[in-house]
Amino acid sequence: MAARAYWSGQIRLALVSIPVEIFAATQSGAKIRFNQVHKPSGKRIAYEKVVPGIGPVNREDIIKGYEIEKGSYVLLEEDEIEAVRIESRRTLELVQFVEAHEIDPLYFEKPYYVAPKDQLAEEAFVVLREALRKAGKVGLGQLSVRGSEKLVALKPCGKGLLLETLRYADEVRQGRAFFDAIDEDKPDAELLDLATTLIDKRTGPFDAGEFEDRYATALKALIAKKAKSKSGKAIIEDAGEPAGAGGNVIDLMAALKKSVSDEKAAAPAKKKAPARKRKSA
């Protein structure tokens, strides 16, 4: 089934407009989601809208409210909210360009793929993509979608473009408040060298395929096993304590030295085995 576009409209750069479609770059289908179930009957639990001291209420009696202080709300009618809702404009105007490294990773929220809407849009689309690539810049703009306005960044991604929604400044906490108590003294030079050596030995190109959500895999195995089981009893499997758990590292120097030596010992095993010589006829 063809993917459904998250947004459809045009990217505008000055007087040039490029019809595009935007698609979600991530999927949540792989995540395991649970429902709350009534254990004696095995039926799913439903939720009722209730008011403390009153009980269940009708849907038409429900209104949106913003809590200004504990237990005190400003009530808003739907037409009042609609009156200030951002018009869902179908144009993303690129108003500024910045170096990619200027945007702190804290601001990045969610990625989307951007593709030309049709063949007629391809030429202008490719020109924009390659211009961004040549300049080494990221385009910034604001996207109106579903009644809200999102700050977005646009950059090249293979043959297409990648759009990433960004958090606004007031949505990001400053780390200074959490780091103020950390001592500013520099670490011991030998400790720093050992830690750097360990990092160097484990450095390699990023490949997300090398990592696996082990918890999700174990949950799927448990669900499959329980689905086959007729008893309905709990299946508890002890995975054991992770290596190194159960005690604090007292001697940091000794721990780092051992880690480095262990890496050196393991290194030959990672090397590719030499090709076997072919036997003579």
3-state secondary structure 162-220: EEEEECCHHHCCCCHHHHCCCCCCCCCHHHHHHHHHHHHHCCCCCCHHHCCCHHHHHHH
Q: What is the pLDDT of residue 226?
A: 81
The per-residue pLDDT of the chain, averaged, comes to 85
Domain residue spans in the chain?
A: 7-26+86-167, 186-202+253-264
Q: Does domain 7-26+86-167 have CATH number 2.40.290.10?
A: yes
Distance CA(270)–CA(191), nearest Å, equals 26
Element (H, E) at 9: strand 7-13
Beta-strand ranges (E) seen in 57-201 are 64-69, 72-76, 91-93, 96-99, 108-116, 137-145, 148-157, 160-166
Question: Greater confidence, 265 or 249?
Answer: 265
Model confidence at 271: pLDDT above 70:
no
How does pLDDT run across 64-117, given as a tens digit for each residue? 999 999 989 998 888 888 778 776 688 999 999 999 899 999 999 999 999 999
Please report which confidence band the pLDDT of residue 270 belongs to, taking 50, 70 and 90 as the band edges: low
Model confidence at 274: pLDDT above 60:
no
Inter-CA distances, 197 with 160, 236, 255, 262, 263, Å: 38, 41, 13, 12, 10
Average pLDDT of the residues in 174-187:
87
Please report which confidence band the pLDDT of residue 280 belongs to, taking 50, 70 and 90 as the band edges: very low
How does pLDDT run across 141-176, given as a tens digit for each residue? 999 888 789 999 999 999 999 999 999 999 999 888
The pTM of this model reads: 0.73
